[in-house]
Structure 1
Amino acid sequence: MSLTTGSSQTPRRALVTGTAGFIGYHVAARLLAEGWLVTGIDGMTPYYDVALKQARHARLRRSNAFVAHEIMLEDEAAIARAFDDARPDVVVHLAAQAGVRYSLDNPRAYVDANLTGTFNVMEGVRRHAPAHFLLASTSSVYGANTAMPFGERDHADHPLTLYAATKKAAEEMTHAYAHLWKVPTTAFRFFTVYGPWGRPDMALFKFVHAILEGRPIEVYGEGAMQRDFTYIDDLVEAIVRLIDVAPREGEPVTEGDSLSPAAPWRVVNIGGGQPVGLLPFIETIEASLGVEAKRTLLPMQKGDVVATFAKADLLEALTGYRPATPVEEGVRRFVAWYREHYRSPAT
């Protein structure tokens, strides 16, 4: 991938939102390693342990090429100033209020961050017209769909949570701006991302933490669920490759392209297309830890879906890449990171 603009002496500039978050941290670290100048935005919200977010940002700040703005997405003036300072060639919008279950308890946080916040980012994109605007969506937008694997051209009109609804709305908002202002835009739908530096509210982190403390793990859906787990390095590789595959209106890449007929805009799944059952996933964790989990089987939670399954053909057609890290390897790497970061004793 080309790292320069204009000449070999000029690094490309990226503005990445959510750089203290799980995915944003990894994306920013990868871009810095490849010679980019990166401006990061994060609100350091207390949705989960702020110390973990601060630790991620501290690692990014080791690079002189990283500039951090600790501001909220909803702060229109602050977002505008960050864009003015960054003058980005590429914008990667990863910040959001995450979590399916939390949206049942604090729905306004999703409206504020995922709708108002995304609008403020869109306004920055409109004013600065980067070469490519990329934003994070989610497999949750497929909602009540039962036909699998999920394809980008499938209807995604029946979200089951406000989280999913706000992410689908963000897709539609950016499509409108892509049509009006002709900024090439790619929305990517993530499928159950996991790995080192992951979020404490996600299953892998919660399971490892509970097992090492000798507490039972809560297994929803009585273990019958399946997820298309995507290892973080695979996700980052896909995003970085997509940066230089900006959509061009009227120029589909493949027959199954999700390219809009009215804008330089497309949506792309990022998932390996290999769902894993929750119980085999737990067994993989047990094997990595060398500890058998105590399990509490519970019914499905409100808003959950039985399975996710990505169709990744479009990603491969666009980038020549498809996520392929085995769950066994990804879980092993997470456990190694967890033990090191939290200095947990070997069992």
Structure 2
Amino acid sequence: MTILVTGSAGFIGNHVALRLLQAGHQVVGVDCHTPYYDVRLKAARTERLLAFPRFREERIDLADAEETARVFEVYRPRRVVHLAAQAGVRYSLENPRAYVDSNLMGTFTVLEGCRSVGVEHLVFASTSSVYGANREQPFSEHHAADHPLTFYAATKRANEMMAHSYAHMFKLPSTALRFFTVYGPWGRPDMALFLFTEAILKGEPIKVFNHGDMVRDFTYIDDIVEGIVRVLDTPPLPVPSLEGIPDPATSPVAPFRVYNIGNSRPVTLLRYIDLVEEALGMTARKTMLPMQIGDVPGTWADVSDLSNDTGYQPSTPVEEGVRRFVAWYRAFYKK
């Protein structure tokens, strides 16, 4: 079938598009190669997809409603995986407008495109950051997520509510996936693993926030892709509410669902750094710093719903995942 993947030059989107192409689907990749980080990495990711004759690239900005509508009308995809977004928690402090254009307007044009051609399932990226001030762990989709701590998280929570409204009004089956700290080969240069590896190889100190007293549910990219593909084949249905109180993870009136997608095995930040040092065979110089604005001390995904509904089982230990990233980094950058 024809599947549209937004953010196809991005980290997760590129891996998803590649997996779908390998499975025999026709993939339409939408990405505008924004210069938020090195566009040469985005170009190299895209080259992996262009090797497949079933891949079509549309280099457009999703905030352009006319161009987005044209892409939907020309290709008429049956399913959509919407992963394009302005990423980065801290960048939202510097340039919040970028999140309005990409995350809010971009998601609106995708929803309109899905509505116009009758897409049978929209799967889109949310984030663990929506849990914000929630301190009850592991984080569950059945918990409220109404106190985001950054504008980035607020736009992602807004995406969930926008999608729910379209699922209700236009019967567009929609599934939100709350990603938990995705890492692996071809990752983003602004992510911790990339920054740590780059700095250690250069002999520069790494920044360790909250003095290392942090825990993250690091999730390897292959496990994330497996979860996305499984969800794509499982469109949601409305779920009746008990005693008239809607469950935050489902909807009593719309084909809508929210899932956590993580590893569900939290790792301390200092252990993560140890693994990078082991993979490189080098010791990091650490600069201990206080907690950053908008950050949280820990994340931990409850993935029981995703496992029960789709058979999702993350299988990559963080030790193996870090080794694979370091091997890719050294090969790609010839270091």
The TM-score, its normalising length taken from structure 2, stands at 0.97
What does residue 46 of structure 1 align with? 35
Aligned partner of 2:293 in structure 1 is 302
Question: What corresponds to 1:165 in structure 2?
Answer: 154
Q: What is residue 312 of structure 1 aligned with on the other side?
A: 303
Query: What amino acid sits opposite 1:273 in the alignment?
Result: S
- Residue equivalent to 1:199: 188
Structure 2 partner of 1:185: 174
Q: Which amino acid aligns with 2:256?
A: W
Q: Is the contact made by 2:220 and 2:263 (CA closer than 8 Å) also made in structure 1?
A: no
Which residues of structure 1 form unaligned runs of 5+? Answer: 1-11
On the 8 A contact 1:257/1:314 being kept in 2, the answer is: no
1:86 to partner: Cα distance? 1.6
Amino acid at match of 1:283: D
Residue correspondence of structure 1 range 215-234 to structure 2 within 5 A: 215-234=204-223
Q: CA deviation at 1:258?
A: 2.5
1:116 to 85, 105, 116: 105
Q: Distance in 1 between matches of 2:192 and 2:174?
A: 31
Q: What SS does the aligned partner of 2:260 have? A: strand
Q: 2: CA distance between counterparts of 1:263 and 1:325?
A: 34
Aligned-residue RMSD, C-alpha:
1.1
Query: Secondary structure of 2:109's match?
Result: helix
- Which of 6, 10, 26 aligns to 1:37? It is 26
Question: Is the 8 Å Cα contact of residues 271 and 322 (structure 1) preserved in structure 2?
Answer: no
Counterpart selection for 2:79 from 83, 87, 90: 90
Deviations 1:202-253 (A, max 9, x none): 000000000001100011111001100000000000000111110012489x
Does the alignment pair 1:27 with 2:20? Answer: no
Normalized against structure 1, the TM-score is what?
Answer: 0.94
Is the partner of 1:43 in helix, strand or coil?
coil
Q: Could you say which residue in structure 2 is the equivalent of 1:100?
A: 89
**Percent pairwise identity:** 60
The CA deviation at 1:166 is 0.1
1:257 CA displacement: 9.1
Alpha-carbon displacement from aligned partner over 1:93-120 (angstroms, at most 9, x marks no partner): 0000000000000000001110011000
| 2:10/2:42 contact within 8 Å kept | yes
Give the Cα separation in 1 of the matches to 2:183 and 2:239: 35
3-state DSSP of counterpart to 1:189: strand
Partners of 1:97 and 1:132 in 2: CA distance: 23
Distance 2:118 2:87 in 1: 27
On the 8 A contact 1:16/1:28 being kept in 2, the answer is: yes
Asked if structure 2 preserves the Cα contact closer than 8 Å seen for 1:136 and 1:190, the reply is yes
Task: State the SS of the aligned residue for 2:161.
Answer: helix
CA distance in 1, matches of 2:262, 2:118: 29
Q: Which amino acid aligns with 1:42?
A: D
Residue ranges of structure 2 left out of the alignment (5+ in a row): 242-246
Distance in 1, matches of 2:64 and 2:150, equals: 25
In the TM superposition, residue 153 of structure 1 has moved relative to its aligned partner by 1.1
Aligned-residue offset at 1:289: 0.5
